[in-house]
Structure 1
């Protein structure tokens, strides 16, 4: 679990950390491509993406074998969804649209073994451990598990300070598109209402001693002081690059 330990250390020390959120297309070779490109992590999206358990487990396995952090975004923070996702073997999870502390409490039950939680481990996620004693689970898995709750609604924004301070939260995250819609400012990234909300989320993380996950243009976010950065969806990046190649080639 060295990759997981190093990843969580990067997040906590605010070393520049750059990754992807893969939504539309996922394939096992992509994990190697991310590592070879110098990225630091990838999040496999199961909230919107049509990806099978088998595919997710295979991608997590490759990440485990080559030492590259693979996370999964779940459909919700519900116990069954989180427990199923963690059995696939990721080093962490992203939880969409978190609005209440009770959601994080339920996710904690699905992630931690008794007596701290109610997890019943199984599946490919077991393969990265030398044995299945409780102390091994805690020291090799639970202590390095990354949890990123997303603030995507006005209800979540109202509770962001408590969500950021929760013991399960590794770093506070945001879903800028959904949040901007809820705030009534469309998808414009420069809207003053959205920027005020992002400032509050970032401040909540800092007050809790935690980083903030942000998605957008990498260099721009870096210049704004963000260090836990997602540069987008690989399908969108590929499409934009192909369009650029076609334009410059055709003249």
Structure 2
């Protein structure tokens, strides 16, 4: 599930729920470096994989995330082979990549308490890229073939928007595009995941062969749960939602 609240406490609650992974989001959530660090520390003692999504496929941000101790990255908005190659380059030290060397200062190496960290760091890092545009779907086979791309993750919402179908993730064209990418990943021998909050959709894609599904978010669960409480206990006024921000 997604952890989007920016709260280490919420991250810890979700990490202990029995799910396989929590995905700490830096793209659409109020998560800066200090907040991500606190959440990584909060979930560390639970048997759950912590994945982190940066706000962009940016070399500097990825370096900072890795130095914090992030080991599984989900890179958003990867549309081309060149962008996939840039993501791979960002996670590797030279000569393979361009990651800056600061292990003596970084949590990732336990401040140089992990022997041989620099030499073996690449073996501890997973790079997943998001396929979430019509262009990315067209290029999915080539993106999957990039050495160092470990998995792809499909984003039906942005994919629908890129095809002029904003808000229509269940449109047959979008479902077909997602299924095409699932098949491409299977042919390439690489894991594939998808975002699907509706249970019927999640199970459909599970039957189609996805390896992992993001099935909810902390903020969505809290929003729907609190709305349920209000619906049960607060008389309807018909005034609509209050002004926000």
Q: TM-score, normalised by structure 2?
A: 0.82
Give how far 1:118 is off: 2.6
For residues 124-151 of structure 1, what are the alpha-carbon distances to aligned partners after superposition, in whole Å with 9 as ceiling and x for unaligned?
Answer: 2222974242xx4555x42242222111
Distance 1:37 1:73 in 2: 21
The answer as to whether partners of 1:218 and 1:229 remain within 8 angstroms in 2 is: no
Quote the residue 2:133 is aligned against: 153
**Matches of 1:162 and 1:67 in 2, distance apart?**
34
The equivalent of 1:39 in structure 2 is 19
Which residue of structure 1 lines up, in the alignment, with residue 77 of structure 2?
97
Q: Residue 56 in 1 paired to residue 40 in 2?
A: no
**Structure 1 residues 134-149: aligned runs within 5 Å:** 136-137=117-118, 139=120, 141-149=121-129
Count of residues paired in the alignment = 228
| Match for residue 72 of structure 1 among 35, 43, 52 | 52
CA 1:128–1:159: 2 relative to 1, 3 Å: farther
> Over residues 79-105 of structure 1, what are the superposed CA-to-partner deviations in whole Å (9 max), with x where a residue is unaligned?
112112222212211111101222222
Asked if structure 2 preserves the Cα contact closer than 8 Å seen for 1:96 and 1:149, the reply is yes
SS state at 2:73 partner = strand
- Residues 173 and 224 of structure 1: is their aligned pair in 2 closer, same or farther, counting only changes over 3 Å? closer
Aligned 8 A contact 1:73 1:94 in 2? yes
Q: In structure 2, how many angstroms separate the alpha carbons of the residues matched to 1:190 and 1:72?
A: 26
- Alignment check: 8 A CA contact 1:78 1:103 kept: no
- TM value normalised by structure 1: 0.80
Whether the 8 Å CA contact 2:145–2:188 is kept in 1: the answer is yes
Residue of 160, 182, 186 corresponding to 1:202 = 182
Equivalent residue, structure 1, for 2:3: 22
Unaligned runs of 5+ in 2: 236-245
* SS of equivalent residue, structure 1 residue 118: coil
Does the aligned pair in 2 maintain the 1:43–1:72 contact within 8 Å? yes
**1:161–1:121 distance in 2 versus 1, CA, 3 Å:** farther
Structure 2 CA distance for aligned equivalents of residues 154 and 189 of structure 1: 13
Residues 1:238 and 2:218 are matched in the alignment = no
CA contact (8 A) 2:27 2:54 kept: yes
Return the structure number with greater relative CO, CA threshold 8 A, min gap 6.
1
Distance 1:177 1:128, change over 3 A: farther
Structure 1 pair 45/224, CA: closer, same or farther in 2 (3 Å)?
Answer: closer
